[in-house]
Amino acid sequence: MVSRNTLAVLSSAAAILTALAGCAPADEASPSAGASASASGPACAPGALATRTAGKLTIGTDNPAYEPWFSDNKPANGKGFESAVAYQVAERLGYPAANVVWTNVTFNNAIAPGPKTFDFDINQFSITPERRKAVDFSSPYYLVRQTVITTKGSKIAGVKTLAELKSAKLGAQVGTTSYQAINELIKPGAKAQVFNNNDDAKAALENGQVDGIVVDLPTAFYMTAAELDNGVIVGQLPQVGVPEQFGLVLDLGSPLTDCVSRAVDQLRQDGTLAVLEKQWLAGTGGAPELS
C-alpha cells in the first residue's frame, strides 16, 4: 500500500496543525482530551482492557509506513492520518501516548488467520466479507474514493466524464478496488493493465505505457504532488453501492472489538475524524468528481 501527504496538502493543512497538536504522542490536550472515559462501558474500563500487555495498547502497522497515513516512516510520532487516528482511539480507550506500543506487521500477516501480535492494526485495510472470516474489524474510520491520475499533457488530463476515459489505457495494482473500479465503472475499450504495486503502476504512467492509473484519493494527492513530475488528478470516480471503508483490524473474536468500534464511532460523531481528514488528507480539494 502506497500513500502517501503531499507538500501541497501539508501547506493547506498548516492552519490547523496547532489545533490538532494533541494528536501527536504527547500528554498535551487534544480535541478530545478528557474524553477517554466516554468510551468506557461495562466491558470497556478505560486503560484496563484485556490487552496483550496489561496497561499497554499495542498497535500494529506495516514497515515502511507511507504518507499521508504516517509521516517519515515513524508511526509513533502521531503525524499522518492513521497515526493520528490511532492515538485518538487509544485516548478514548484510556491509553495515553506513553502507554501505546507500536509493532511492525506486514499487511498480509495482519489479515491472515491466526493469533495476532497486536491489539489492533491500522494500515488502510478495506473491510470485506472475506476478510471478516479471518479477523475482526472496527467501525470504519475512513470512506475511500478511487481517483484517476495522469501527467500534464496526457490525452486524459482535462477530461470531465467517465465516457471520455473509455478510449484511455488505464492500469492499477492487482487485486485492489482501484482495479475493480476501472472494470466496473469506467469499462475502457482496452483491457486494464495490472501491476504488482503502485510503484510499478506509477512507472508505467511515467513511461507512457498507460494514459492514467487509478489509486485511492489520498494516494492520488501524494503521487501527483510529491512523486510524479507534472502529475495531475483527473478526478474522483463515483461511489457504487456501499463505499469502500477502512477499518482497524483485530484478532478474530477479540474482546476489544466492541470497545474499539465504540471509540471510532465517537471520533466520527464528534467531528474528530473529519478534522483529521482535512489536516492530513486535504479533503477532496483539487479532485473533481467524474460523472
Task: Tell the residue number behind the cell numbers 504495486, with chain if given.
Answer: 197
Residues in the chain: 291
pTM value is 0.67
Omega prior to 64 cis, within 30 of 0: yes
CA 235, CA 217: separation in Å to the nearest integer? 9
Contacts with 239 (C-beta within 8 Å, 6 or more apart), sequence order: 145
Q: What is the pLDDT along the chain (291 residues), one digit of tens a residue?
A: 444 333 333 333 333 333 333 444 433 333 333 333 346 555 799 999 999 999 999 999 999 998 788 999 999 999 999 999 999 999 999 999 999 999 999 999 999 999 999 999 999 999 999 999 999 999 999 998 899 999 999 999 999 999 999 999 999 999 888 998 999 999 999 999 999 999 999 999 999 999 999 998 888 988 998 899 999 999 989 875 567 899 999 999 999 999 999 999 999 999 999 999 888 875 445 688 898
CA 27, CA 263: separation in Å to the nearest integer? 19
